[in-house]
Structure 1
């Protein structure tokens, strides 16, 4: 295991247990429906009586607010540059989903002075103790700054499609993550499948390739159909699980979330804010 990942886990929190499970949602390339999957996965968890928050870290390209028919008034940058608390900035979406816009927050976070970082971590810790799940909607591809957040998350969900370019980029993303932390829990979601068989074949091929070349067994959460109701929901600025509850993709999403919550998973042994304390540590090239 990479020394940095190991040392980050050894950081001891001053404020107790790990709190929320933090899940980074990533993709190897843009245009695979990552943010839509993130939003609707989160809303489906809320239907199971889970408290969920999303932090939009797709800097410059974030569209979660548009998918919800919202317009963000404040961002992480406002938190860093003012005396506001995280509760002043967080907004409420459908189903009481909590949402925090990133703005240009990555560069601001990386450049924080020690005392300012401590203030931010105190705010983040308050968020962790309030929710069951916190989703990080990351930008497409991977940057050194983004990788630090991904490594700090408890789990990573990689969204891809059956297209060869999307699969290749998703594989590269997974390889990059494993180079930094070979123990990271990674799950794959295959989006926009024309048939269930295509989804199964794509997932099977992906598992085979990662096992053969990376020597890793990855989990496949399942596949989602290429459903026309998604584009209609986007135009209406509504999550597809609300726009048409009986659509094939809404049903598939509910089944996927049930599989996810029904699978026994180890509870986090460390908090996200603990690992974010290592943000200023350099990622190995």
Structure 2
């Protein structure tokens, strides 16, 4: 009799012939760098171009994606893990048809659950993911035992920092932590709240130099977002700043999205692409 893991593997391979979605983790070494705001607005920028996008708020206990949108999600990941709702039922709909799952405290409970619960979760994910082209995980600041398996399972990691020295140091520490688990996982660096292009480029250079020297690898300079007063106003009004097309931050993010959409950068990896759910399952069951 085939075990559940084998059945899940076959189901992933047979999912309607669709290509697996691109999965991304948005991380930062410290809080307060605008990571969640970037995650939301980048997701909305992709969704506005017609892509089917799902944003998971994985900031345990501190999730705020629904607040940034100006909505109140009916359900969160907690409702799923406590058995009140199915995974598809906790998905909310935001602007531009963006789908998102509100955060909560459920992830910390999940990591301590037994194998059957993990198996059900990964199986439900495999069904849910088949409906999307992009899946983004807005991770909490830093790395925990709950979040690391999710980060290591994605295709690419978007690292958000600011030009502040402490933010740069913490961003490097985050990349180092991930690198020690997987030296091939691509890093795409975003420098937020820059006061000038020069400041942004200097931040890229500092991180590129230290990562190359101590980790012997490259990072992708994905883009920079200016320190824009209209971003702060948008947060206060609970309206994504991407809607203000004239805002410098919105223009910068749209350019970044075009660069991502057209793959105007090279990602080098010796490893064949593996479905997110397959990787997550391996990390969870090998603990």
TM-score, structure 2 as length reference: 0.89
Q: Deviations over 1:181-224 (max 9, x none)?
A: 00111111000000112111211221111111111111010100
Aligned partners of 1:116, 1:88: CA distance in 2, in Å?
A: 18
Name the stretch that deviates more: 91-100 or 204-213: 204-213
CA distance in 1 between partners of 2:250 and 2:103 (Å):
27
Q: CA deviation at 1:108?
A: 2.2
Displacement, 1:115? 2.0
Task: Give the alignment of 1:243-258 within 5 angstroms.
Answer: 244-258=244-258
Partners of 2:140 and 2:75 in 1: CA distance: 19
User: Partner of 2:273: helix, strand, or coil?
Assistant: coil
3-state SS, counterpart of residue 37 of structure 1 = helix
Give yes or no for contact 2:187–2:220 (8 Å, CA) kept in 1. Answer: yes
Trace 1:1-285 onto structure 2 (pairs within 5 A): 12-16=9-13, 19-82=20-83, 84-242=85-243, 244-263=244-263, 269-277=273-281, 278-282=283-287
Aligned residues: 271
The alpha carbon displacement at 1:53 in A equals: 0.7
- When structure 1 is superposed on structure 2, of 126-135 and 271-280 the one drifting more is 271-280
SS of structure 1 residue aligned to 2:25? strand
Q: Say whether the 8 Å CA contact 2:62–2:104 is kept in structure 1.
A: no
Q: Which runs of 5+ in 1 are unaligned?
A: 1-10
Distance 1:21 1:185 in 2: 13
Offset of residue 158 of structure 1: 0.5
CA RMSD for the aligned pairs? 1.9
Contact 1:13 1:274 in 2 (8 A): no
Distance in structure 1 (CA, Å) of the matches to 2:145 and 2:86 = 27
Aligned 8 A contact 1:28 1:170 in 2: yes
User: Which segments of structure 1 move beyond 6 Å, counting only runs of 4 or more?
Assistant: 264-268
Q: Deviations over 1:72-106 (max 9, x none)?
A: 22122211222632221110011111010231122
SS of equivalent residue, structure 2 residue 89: helix
Distance in 1 (alpha carbons) for counterparts of 2:136 and 2:284: 18
Unmatched segments (≥5 aa) in structure 2: 1-7
